[in-house]
Each structure stands twice: as structure tokens, then as C-alpha cells.
């Protein structure tokens, strides 16, 4: 079972539970489903910017670095570590991505900026958590390969 299967299974399981932990029925929310391929593509693109095998975890590493730089290192660290994921407030998305990139993400997902902001704050903790099993970043090109495989299946 690859990382992609793990993340999709985990995210779908989380989406089936309401805020009170009870199963709500249905699947992942339409907002999260619209954002998932955009987030995965974003991580894949970031991981290719530096070139070489060591940069394949750069997407997550760069994201964690940006979150830390903006004062959200504790939350980001909880996503990588084992244990509960700390929530990311929606306003953090503006601070980390900036208005232009948030608008671009929203357009790619076919969402309004408020929906994208809220969805990203909910989705990013689970995406990072699932791509860092047992508190470890994926090795080699595993992240890029999993993301690329999923993106090919979407098109």
C-alpha cells in the first residue's frame, strides 16, 4: 500500500466524522475533494524545484519551513510527529501563502477564496500527517511518485 492510498483512506475516514467524532455518512466534503489534487500538485511541484533526490521531500519540508517562519511551527511539527495534529487557523493560510497564491489555489480548485482558505487549513494537517508516517519524511522520490500517480489517475 503506497502513501497515496494511505492518505486518501485516512482523509476519507476523517471526512466521514463530524466535529464531535460521530460518523456523518457520505464522503470527503466537496471542498476538500476539490483542493486535494491542487495541494498534491503543489507539493509535487515544490519537490521538483531543487532537483535531485534530496529535494523530493522539499515540498513538505518547504511547507513546514514556511509555517515555522510565520509562527505556526508548533502546529506543523505536530503534523509530522506521531500523535494528534494541532489545528491550523484559517488566517494562517493568508500568512503562509499570501493573497496571490491563495487566489491561484482557489481558482485551480474552482472555489472561492474563503472556501479555499478554510479547506486548506483543514486539509494540510492531514496531508502532511499522512505523508510523514511515524514522524518521518518520505524517502527518495516516494512523495513525487505517489503524487504523480494520483494526478495521472485524476485526468
Structural domain contains residue 24: no
> How many distinct structural domains can be found in the chain?
1
DSSP assigned state of 138: P
Structural domain contains residue 146: yes
CATH of residue 54's domain is 1.10.10.690
Structural domain contains residue 122: yes
Mean pLDDT (the chain) is 76
Element (H, E) at 66: helix 58-69
- Contact 17/26 with Cβ under 8 angstroms? no
pTM exceeding 0.85? no
3 pLDDT higher than 80? no
Structural domain contains residue 66: yes
Side-chain-facing half-sphere of 9: CA atoms under 13 Å:
6
Looking at residues 12-41, what average pLDDT do you find?
65
Structural domain contains residue 45: yes
Residues 6+ apart with CB under 8 A from 126: 7, 10, 11, 14, 85
Give the residue with greater pLDDT, 81 vs 148: 81
Structural domain contains residue 10: no
pLDDT digits (tens, 9 = 90+) for 90-114: 999 999 999 999 999 999 999 999 9
- Contact 69/63 with Cβ under 8 angstroms? no
pLDDT digits (tens, 9 = 90+) for 43-92: 766 555 544 433 454 578 888 889 999 999 999 999 999 889 999 999 99
For residue 67, give its domain range: 29-154
Look at phi and psi of residue 10 and say left if phi exceeds 0, alpha if psi is from -120 to 50, else beta. alpha
pLDDT at 43: 76
Structural domain contains residue 92: yes
Structural domain contains residue 117: yes
CA angle 102/17/68 to nearest 5° reads 40
Give the residue with greater pLDDT, 56 vs 118: 118
Amino acid at each position: 500500500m503506497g502513501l497515496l492510498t494511505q492518505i486518501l483512506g485516512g482523509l476519507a475516514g476523517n471526512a466521514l466524522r463530524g466535529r464531535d467524532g460521530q460518523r456523518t455518512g457520505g464522503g470527503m466534503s466537496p471542498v476538500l475533494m476539490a483542493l486535494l489534487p491542487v495541494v498534491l500538485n503543489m507539493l509535487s511541484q515544490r519537490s521538483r524545484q531543487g532537483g535531485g533526490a534530496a529535494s523530493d521531500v522539499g515540498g513538505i519540508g518547504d511547507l513546514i519551513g514556511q509555517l515555522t517562519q510565520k509562527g505556526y511551527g508548533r502546529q506543523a511539527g505536530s503534523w509530522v510527529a506521531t500523535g494528534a495534529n494541532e489545528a491550523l487557523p484559517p488566517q494562517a493560510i493568508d500568512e503562509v501563502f499570501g493573497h496571490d497564491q491563495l487566489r491561484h489555489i482557489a481558482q485551480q480548485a474552482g472555489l472561492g477564496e474563503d472556501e479555499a482558505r478554510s479547506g486548506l487549513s483543514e486539509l494540510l494537517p492531514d496531508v502532511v500527517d499522512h505523508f510523514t508516517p511515524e514522524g518521518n519524511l518520505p524517502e527518495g522520490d516516494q512523495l513525487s511518485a505517489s503524487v504523480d500517480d494520483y494526478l495521472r489517475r485524476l485526468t
